[in-house]
């Protein structure tokens, strides 16, 4: 199983390339203000090619302000050799016919997974009947791609791969879209719980404008704790995450189900901020496989 590292910080690239990962993903799923500048994207692509690792360009949900910047990256990569582009915006997906050499990959913001809810176990416990709970589990743990017409819709746009989250109870349901031609990439630790249109981190730290934001999320995240919460949640930029660490049994299930890629994210929540930390985690993952 391929192990790749995703970062929205181009300055981390040299450190990541020295690690034992198989590939690099540059960009953000969640923040349009972290779309890499064209010069940074070009440099990342060239360095990754020299290192003989795979490269993917990650794009977020977009507004009119950022659409042109994201498309500049597509135009550059289209002149290269079939680069993978992770798409989290239907508008960007719609224009990909202008860039036929790219390999579009469906981002997780276009994949609906009800089990991202951190209170799913509590919700299911309220259902006393075993049969009713079983039906609810199937609804919660499936994804929007557990429906053939949805798979066919995205395949018509050239999608052949998809990002999903590390939610072990959902793993059996990945088999349907894997068997229907969508290679599956799994984010190893962070599960998005909710995403805000305006960045709470910037608001808390009194950043004035997103275009001039100092990017405090590059260095810190906030642990959210309340008495009624039974698990820890983290605010990172405009997204709240929960953190789950892989286990050997889960890795075995993924491998047997046909997943092809594990994604490690570099940020303050995961603590993957150096080559040494990355290599230690990659070694642990490989031992599980």
Residue 46: what pLDDT?
94
Residues ≥6 apart with Cβ < 8 Å to 241: 190, 191, 192, 193, 233, 234, 269
Which residue bears the tokens 């286990």? Answer: 247
Residue 196 predicted with pLDDT over 90: no
Does 117 have pLDDT greater than 70? yes
pLDDT of residue 87: 97
| Domains with residue ranges and CATH for the chain | 2-113+147-191+244-288 (3.20.20.70)
Most confident of 14-18, 138-142, 202-206: 14-18
Sort 47 into a burial class: Cβ within 10 Å, 0-12 / 13-18 / 19+. Answer: middle
- Spatial contact of 52 and 81, defined as CB atoms under 8 Å apart: no
Report pTM. 0.92
Residue 93 Cα to chain centre, angstroms: 17
Whether residue 129 has pLDDT greater than 80? no
Give percent of the chain with pLDDT exceeding 70: 96
CA-wise closest residue to 186 among 262, 87, 105, 106: 262
The more confidently predicted of residues 149 and 232 is 149
Supply the pLDDT for residue 130. Answer: 60
Residues 213-263 have pLDDT tens digits of 999 998 899 999 877 767 889 999 999 999 998 999 999 999 999 999 999
Q: Taking residues 164-176, what's their average pLDDT?
A: 95
Edge-to-edge order in the sheet of strand 222-224: 190-195, 239-243, 233-236, 222-224
């Amino acid at each position: 199983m391929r192990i790749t590292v995703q970062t929205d910080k181009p300055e981390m690239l040299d450190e990541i390339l020295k690690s034992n990962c198989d590939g690099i993903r540059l960009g953000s799923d969640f923040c349009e203000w972290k779309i890499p500048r064209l010069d940074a994207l070009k440099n990342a692509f060239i360095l990754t090619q020299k290192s003989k690792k795979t490269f993917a360009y990650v794009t977020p949900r977009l507004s009119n302000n950022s659409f042109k910047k994201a498309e500049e990256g597509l135009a550059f990569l289209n002149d290269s050799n079939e680069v993978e582009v992770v798409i989290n915006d239907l508008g960007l997906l719609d224009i990909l016919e202008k860039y036929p050499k790219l390999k579009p990959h469906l981002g997780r913001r276009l994949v609906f997974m009800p089990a991202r809810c951190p209170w799913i176990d509590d919700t299911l416990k309220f259902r006393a009947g075993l049969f009713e709970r079983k039906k609810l589990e199937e609804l919660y743990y499936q994804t929007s791609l557990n429906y053939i017409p949805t798979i066919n819709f995205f395949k018509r746009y050239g999608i052949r791969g998809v990002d999903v989250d590390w939610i072990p109870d959902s793993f059996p349901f990945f088999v349907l879209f894997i068997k229907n031609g969508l290679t599956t990439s799994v984010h190893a630790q962070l599960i998005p719980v909710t995403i805000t249109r305006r960045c709470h981190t910037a608001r808390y730290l009194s950043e004035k404008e997103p275009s001039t934001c100092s990017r405090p999320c590059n260095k810190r995240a906030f642990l959210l704790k309340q008495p009624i919460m039974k698990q820890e949640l983290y605010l990172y930029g405009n997204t709240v995450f929960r953190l789950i660490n892989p286990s050997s049994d889960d890795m075995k299930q993924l491998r047997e189900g046909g997943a092809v890629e594990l994604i490690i994210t570099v940020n303050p929540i995961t603590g993957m901020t150096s080559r040494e930390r990355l290599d230690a985690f990659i070694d642990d993952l490989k031992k599980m496989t």
